[in-house]
Amino acid sequence: MRVVVCRMPSPIYSAYITVPTLSVNDKGLPHALEHLVLCGSKNYPIRGYLGALAARNCSLETNGHTFGDHTKYTIFSAAEDAMANILPVFLDHVLNPLLSDSQFITEVYHYDETGKEKGVMFSEMASRENSVNFLEYYNISSLVWNSSATHSYASGGKTRDIATLTKEEVIDYHRKYYDANNVTVTLTDSSNINSGSNNGDIKKSADNAEVVRLFEENYFKNLLLDELKRIFATRFDGDPYALEKASKRLSNKVAAYIEKDPGEAINNLLYSDIVASNSSPGSHGKFHVGSRARKFDMIAKLGKRP
């Protein structure tokens, strides 16, 4: 498991659990798992327990989002101790979902007593798949990408294909993509994660995880300097201070972006390389693909698979 810690002067503690998830058809396997993960885990099988725990810990309701190449689970809390209470339970839902027959029937697909096709996921996509935005996006994507690319398929699923999805396929999909070594947990404003103070649960959940702290003093600036030197390989027309000035401007711009909207910033700055590091042939989970990976150089390696 990879853990990235971002220190920011925000009163809100947030956690983003990211799993690279690819599609090979329009059955919506990533979307189905997103729904089922939030329904209960083997250690916390009661549906709604996670949401109730979040509510009791001054936190916004847990949520999940399916994208073309990754699935993201989010939680926001007003206190560090609250995050320490919720995160281990949330991770258990992600890594050990119950995936029961009744959950699959309710969340994914079934016929009701009148013979109508139902299911939370099925109904969601039925309301969207004939919209202009959906048709435009997925028809263009299918033309731009070849059939082996995940973006050529509807990650949310299409109703005609969701109807053929089975629980066994969902279980196999979870086994393939939801390995702990593929998971990235991004924490914001959790500066004491390794202090040992009231954070035993988080530390226990992150056993054998490599923890990287972003944006500590001079860390971000030095990375930007290295990247700018690599890109330009020049003294900027003889000005020995131009490189530092450019670095400061870029650093301030990105810092302001992160402070304004940390979730969007993390999504744009980190996720592309989280996906690339897990999905590229021969990458073995290392950050060596993509310009952002070079710029931030966050992780040297992932933990070895058991």
- Position 245: which residue type? K
Task: In whole angstroms, give the CA distance from residue 192 to residue 205.
Answer: 15
Question: 6-57, pLDDT tens digit by residue?
Answer: 766 567 888 889 898 999 999 999 999 999 999 999 999 999 999 999 999 9
Q: What φ, ψ does residue 59 adopt, rounded to 5°?
A: -125, 150
Q: Which residue shows structure tokens 């027959």?
A: 101
**Contact yes or no for 50/36 (Cβ under 8 A):** no
CA atoms 264, 269, 272, 273: torsion sign: negative
Q: For residue 78, what are the contacts with CB-CB under 8 A and spacing of at least 6?
A: 11, 12, 13, 58, 59
pTM: 0.72
Residues 32, 38, 43, 48, Cα dihedral to 10°: -140
DSSP 8-state secondary structure symbol assigned to residue 152: G
Q: What's the pLDDT at 92? A: 93
Q: What's the pLDDT at 290? A: 36
Residue 47 DSSP SS3 = coil
Question: 80-95, pLDDT tens digit by residue?
Answer: 888 889 999 999 999 9
Chunk the chain into consecutive blocks of 10 residues (it has 306) and report each block's average pLDDT, rounded to whole numbers.
71 86 94 96 94 90 90 90 90 95 96 95 96 92 86 94 97 93 77 41 42 47 55 55 65 66 64 60 42 34 28
Q: Which residue shows structure tokens 């089975």?
A: 166
Task: In whole angstroms, give the CA distance from residue 165 to residue 260.
Answer: 40
